[in-house]
């Protein structure tokens, strides 16, 4: 029995870390969704049951994959998923936009999938496969394949899906993994990437400068430009794109060091359109405080 449990758990540190995050996340999703339920206990119950279903299915998949001999078919799986995620990101364009982005595949009954979230996980696995210690002298070719995937996914998410946030996170995450791969064959690439990071920081400072933001204000009605301007200074757009950012900061301040207590967030009832996903962090800080955030 003990041997079976050990095999099922895989890496104990990963397993128990995952369990802790699942419990914490499920509790906070239940609390956050109180803002959308508005006293409708049936709605809240359905959200909690769905979350628990996701947890159970996720744990089963984890336990299966933790004991699956993936090494034998790794290369085929990587290339298969490379193509599948590319297709899934494009398919999103054929579904209605949500919040200005074509980032979801609608499955009906209020259920949807956001492929870009799974793509982030895939890029981590992809990096491990391309830059793992058993890859020998093929890393120049692997690097080019990895870089092509990073650019393709980022461009599709940014320009086809109009999802600026996911594109930035995916690109920075993938870029960082490529920079820390410890192979001498990649040194020249990594030097160039380091220079590009410096250039990008300087470019960002330039774009955030008052003359450029003033110029961009002429295109503030564009969804992505509006989001960018609001991120640069939300208080200039406090009744438009910056409203929810400001309310998030207010939630942080309202929570203080130790928070208002679990379930006691005020702003989740009126100021956040998606309190259990996009704006779950302000809810966590408002209820559990800065100390709770540090613990998380």
pLDDT tens for 244-262 read 888 889 999 999 999 999 9
CA distance 13 to 74: 24
**What's residue 26's pLDDT?**
93
Which residues, in sequence order, are CB contacts of 229 under 8 Å at separation 6+?
Answer: 213, 216, 217, 220, 236, 237, 241
- Mean pLDDT score, 276-285: 88
- 278 or 69, higher pLDDT: 278
CA 249 to chain centroid: 20
**What's residue 290's pLDDT?**
93
**What's residue 27's pLDDT?**
93
Which residues, in sequence order, are CB contacts of 262 under 8 Å at separation 6+?
Answer: 27, 31, 287, 288
**What's residue 155's pLDDT?**
92
Question: From residue 35, how far is each of 29, 165, 267, 275 by CA, in Å?
Answer: 10, 24, 8, 7
At 5, the pLDDT band (50, 70, 90 cuts) reads low
Tens of pLDDT, residue by residue over 11-42, are: 788 888 889 999 999 999 999 888 777 767 78
Indicate whether 228 pLDDT > 80.
no
Report the predicted TM-score, pTM, of the whole model to 2 decimal places. 0.71
At 71, the pLDDT band (50, 70, 90 cuts) reads low
For residue 8, give the nearest of 68, 71, 69, 67 by alpha carbon: 67
Question: Which of 7-11, 150-154, 238-242 tops mean pLDDT?
Answer: 150-154
Average pLDDT of the chain to the nearest whole number:
83
- Mean pLDDT score, 205-219: 77
Tens of pLDDT, residue by residue over 82-140, are: 888 889 899 988 988 887 788 888 887 667 889 999 999 888 888 888 887 655 455 57
């Amino acid at each position: 029995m003990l041997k079976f449990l050990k095999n099922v758990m895989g890496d104990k540190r990963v397993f128990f870390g995952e369990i802790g995050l699942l419990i914490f996340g499920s509790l906070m999703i239940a609390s956050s969704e109180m803002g959308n339920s508005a006293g409708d206990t049936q709605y809240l119950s359905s959200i909690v049951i769905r979350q628990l279903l996701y947890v159970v299915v996720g744990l089963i998949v984890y336990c299966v994959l933790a004991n699956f001999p993936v090494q034998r078919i790794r290369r085929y799986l990587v290339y298969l998923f490379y193509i599948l995620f590319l297709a899934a990101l494009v398919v999103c364009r054929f579904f209605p936009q949500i919040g200005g982005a074509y980032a979801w595949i609608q499955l009906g009954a209020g259920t949807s999938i956001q492929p870009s979230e799974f793509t982030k996980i895939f890029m981590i696995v992809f990096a491990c496969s391309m830059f793992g210690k058993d890859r020998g002298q093929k890393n120049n070719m692997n690097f080019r394949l990895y870089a092509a995937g990073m650019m393709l996914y980022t461009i599709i998410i940014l320009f086809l899906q109009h999802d600026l946030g996911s594109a930035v996170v995916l690109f920075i995450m993938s870029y960082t993994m490529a920079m820390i791969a410890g192979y001498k064959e990649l040194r020249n690439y990594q030097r160039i990437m380091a220079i590009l990071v410096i250039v990008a920081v300087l470019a960002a400072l330039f774009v955030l400068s008052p003359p450029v933001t003033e110029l961009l204000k002429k295109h503030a009605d564009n969804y992505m430009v509006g989001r960018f301007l609001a991120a640069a200074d939300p208080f200039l757009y406090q009744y438009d794109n910056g409203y929810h950012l400001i309310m998030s900061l207010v939630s942080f301040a309202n929570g203080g060091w130790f928070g208002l207590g679990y379930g006691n967030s005020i702003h989740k009832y009126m100021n956040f359109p998606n309190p259990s996903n996009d704006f779950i962090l302000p809810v966590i800080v408002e209820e559990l405080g800065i100390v709770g955030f540090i613990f998380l």
